[in-house]
Amino acid sequence: MKRLQFWLGILISVIFLVWAMRELKLAEVWQALRTARYIWIVPGVAVYFFGVWARTWRWHYMLRPFKSVPLTRLFPVVCIGYMGNNIYPFRAGEVIRSYVLKRKEDISMSGSLATVLVERIFDGLVMLLFVFIALPFTTRVPDVYRTWVIGFSSAFGVALVIFIALAAHPPTTRRLYDWLAERLLPERFHDRVGDLFDRFMMGLASLRSGRDVLMIFATSVVVWLAETVKYWFVMHAFDFEVSFLVLMLMNGIVNLFTSLPAAPGYVGTFDAPGIEILDVVGGVNRQVATAYTLVLHAALWLPITALGAYYFYKEQLSWYDFERAGKAAMGDA
């Protein structure tokens, strides 16, 4: 199954790359890259790491039912997760950061993975919020994007409702689990799986309070606004200008597309939609849009991956730990 998923991701990346290379003029792209003012990447990276710090605080907030982990100890774990997502398929970074957290802080993987799932839902909702805010002011949006927005809105909305319903009444949810376990699981697995389920439910504890939900949502907005500000800074390295709303739309669309299976580093699934938004919606020359998107992708990928790799080796982890993390997630080792 993993092999199938890997090759599916490669195929999807190739399809998106073919889409991105449509009408590509390499000489003009190279000219835009050669004359870019790369100093603008520096403040972009700085504000991006502010967003990573905000993401760390959000995870710290959601992990409180288990343990109050200082941000200085949690930040390296978040960076390791980014690195794993950027260089390994299947968003393996989400599992590896829960694995590292288990090693460092003795927080169960099933519980921390539940908080990661909640993070992903709120990230998706904020991306959709960005798209909905920008759409009324951008009239040249292709119908395919509107269709994708409707589909993603439905998926994230249903997921959030289900998770809130599960978290709202733990005793009722536990009784439902017991009823299903008695009918679907062999008896020897009841206690073990039940323990994993209880830890997973603890990870959803932040959804039981309206205040906590609002806090997580507000922090998610800060995280993604910081990333959009990086888009804005990198834009100044090139000879074009679009409104911040167009960049919000671009950020929302490309991050929704990167939820698709793809080659490591979101090759293609980030680039093609980004180029298309700038070209069709922003009216940017396609060759300049291509150069900008490539530089932006590299600026998003390289600094956090390098820092994550530093922390990865500082924790004396090895590539075999990715496999161990997957097995541990199944057994909550």
> How many Cβ atoms from other residues are within 10 Å of residue 93's Cβ?
23
Per-residue pLDDT of the chain (333 residues; tens, 9 = 90+): 667 878 888 999 999 999 999 889 999 999 999 999 999 999 999 999 999 999 999 999 999 988 999 999 999 999 999 999 999 877 788 999 999 999 999 998 888 988 998 898 889 888 888 888 887 777 666 666 667 667 776 777 787 788 788 888 888 888 888 888 888 888 777 777 777 787 778 778 888 888 898 999 999 999 999 999 999 999 999 999 999 999 999 999 898 888 888 888 999 999 999 999 999 889 999 999 999 999 999 999 999 999 999 999 998 888 777 777 777 665 554
* DSSP helix/strand/coil, 249: helix
Residue 98 exposed, middle or buried by CB count within 10 Å (0-12, 13-18, 19+): buried
To the nearest 10°, the Cα dihedral for 223, 93, 262, 32? 50
User: What predicted TM-score, i.e. pTM, was given to this entire model?
Assistant: 0.87
**C-alpha span between 236 and 183 (Å, rounded):** 60
Distance of CA 163 to the CA centre of its chain: 18
